[in-house]
């Protein structure tokens, strides 16, 4: 029963011509470079596609290691936005609304690689040159799936490049805002380079009846997990205050919390 259901849910549909994965990726890449002209001369969308495809095409969709994306990471050239890098965990919607409205902070999904791959699903098959955008393994179905390995690799590169003061927006409406099994907790925090980063500033997003505060034990673990040379701070900020700031174009970024 269960294995039949998994097999059926994984029935692939090959990409068809105009919506093909290559076209989607190259188009998104060119759109991004058109909006970030300063990055245009150092990045080539065709080269990025080739490095991306090389990571997973022809491989079993449960056997794509994180390192397969090393050439892709090397193919992209972007200067880190020192003092403006925003990490997040379980706050996806609000962080992206925030960076969309205020240009002061930058998430991985606002960089070239993160922007291009955001919201996409992809996989191939062993010994096949086809690419698929449906019927691919889910995030937890198998660990070495092409999408999960990509985000693990891209997150590691983003965190390694972080510099100056970094911000992390965490969710104060859940029992464990800092989860050691999340990408932020298991990969990004471990890649922070104390010689490049001065401070980690946690913004704990809270709602009306939340009881979680900056004293939460998971946040004490975060404080202990980072290098003692880094300055750690945490601030509880009501979600409503951030949403008001997002919708008020007059409010400067620095006044949001």
88 binds ligand AVW (CB under 6 A): yes
- Residue 142 appears among annotated catalytic residues: no
Question: What is d(CA 179, CA 24) in angstroms, rounded to the nearest whole number?
Answer: 33
145 counts as binding ligand AVW under rule CB under 6 A: no
Quick check: 115 binds ligand AVW (CB under 6 A)? no
Q: Is 176 in the site for ligand AVW (CB under 6 A)?
A: no
Please identify, using beta-carbon distances, which residue of 46 and 235 lies nearer to ligand AVW: 235
CA distance 56 to 161: 25
Give yes or no for residue 163 binding ligand AVW (CB under 6 A): no
- Sequence-ordered list of residues with C-beta below 8 angstroms from that of 250, at least 6 positions apart, any chain: none
DSSP 253: G
Could you please report the per-residue DSSP string of 173-216? TSS-SS-TTSHIIIIIHHH--TTTEEEEEEEEEE-TT----TT-
Q: Is 111 in the site for ligand AVW (CB under 6 A)?
A: no
User: According to the binding rule CB under 6 A, does residue 110 interact with ligand AVW?
Assistant: no
Catalytic residue among 62, 82, 142, 214: 82
Give min distance, CB of 248 to ligand AVW, in A.
25
Question: DSSP per residue over 118-164, as a string?
Answer: TT---B--TT----BSSSPPPTTT-TT-HHHHHHHHHHHHHHHT--E
Any contact of residue 87 with ligand AVW (CB under 6 A)? yes
Q: Contact between 202 and ligand AVW (CB under 6 A)?
A: no
From candidates 110, 184, 203, 222, binder to ligand AVW by CB under 6 A:
184
Number of other residues whose CB lies within 10 A of the CB of residue 249: 8
Among 48-56, 85-93, 213-221, 234-242, the segment contacting ligand AVW (CB under 6 A): 85-93
- For residues 96-121, one letter each, b for 16 or more C-beta atoms within 10 angstroms of the residue's C-beta and e for the rest, the string is bebbeebeebbbbbbbbbbbbbeeeb
Q: Kindly state the smallest distance separating residue 89's Cβ from ligand AVW, in Å.
A: 3
Verify whether residue 29 is a known catalytic residue.
no
For residues 220 and 184, what is the distance between their CA atoms, to the nearest angstrom? Answer: 15
- Give the one residue of 89, 111, 149, 216 binding ligand AVW; rule: CB under 6 A: 89
Q: Is 158 in the site for ligand AVW (CB under 6 A)?
A: yes
The set of catalytic residues is 82, 163
Residues that bind ligand AVW (CB under 6 A): 87-90, 92, 108, 139-140, 155, 158, 182-184, 188
């Amino acid at each position: 029963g269960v294995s039949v259901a998994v097999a059926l849910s994984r029935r692939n549909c090959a990409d068809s011509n105009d919506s093909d994965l290559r076209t989607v990726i190259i188009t998104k890449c060119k759109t991004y470079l058109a909006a970030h002209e300063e990055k245009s001369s150092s990045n080539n969308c065709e080269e990025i596609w080739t490095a991306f495809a090389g990571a997973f095409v022809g491989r079993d969709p449960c056997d794509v290691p994180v390192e397969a994306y090393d050439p892709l990471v090397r193919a992209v050239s972007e200067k880190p936005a020192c003092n403006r890098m925003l990490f997040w965990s379980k706050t996806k919607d609000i962080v992206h609304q925030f960076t969309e409205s205020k240009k002061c902070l930058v998430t991985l999904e606002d960089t070239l690689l993160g922007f291009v791959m955001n919201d996409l699903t992809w996989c191939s098959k062993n010994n096949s040159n086809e690419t698929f955008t449906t019927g691919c393994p889910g995030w937890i179905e198998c660990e070495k799936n092409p999408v999960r390995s990509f985000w693990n690799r891209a997150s590691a590169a983003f965190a390694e490049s972080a510099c100056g003061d970094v911000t992390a927006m965490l969710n104060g409406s859940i029992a464990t805002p800092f989860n050691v099994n999340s990408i932020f907790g298991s990969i990004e925090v471990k890649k922070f380079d104390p010689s490049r980063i001065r401070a980690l500033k946690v913004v704990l997003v809270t709602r009306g009846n939340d009881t979680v505060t900056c004293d939460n034990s998971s946040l004490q673990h975060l404080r202990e997990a980072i290098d003692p040379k880094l300055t750690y701070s945490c601030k509880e900020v009501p979600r409503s205050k951030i949403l008001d700031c997002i919708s008020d174009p007059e409010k400067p970024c620095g006044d949001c919390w």
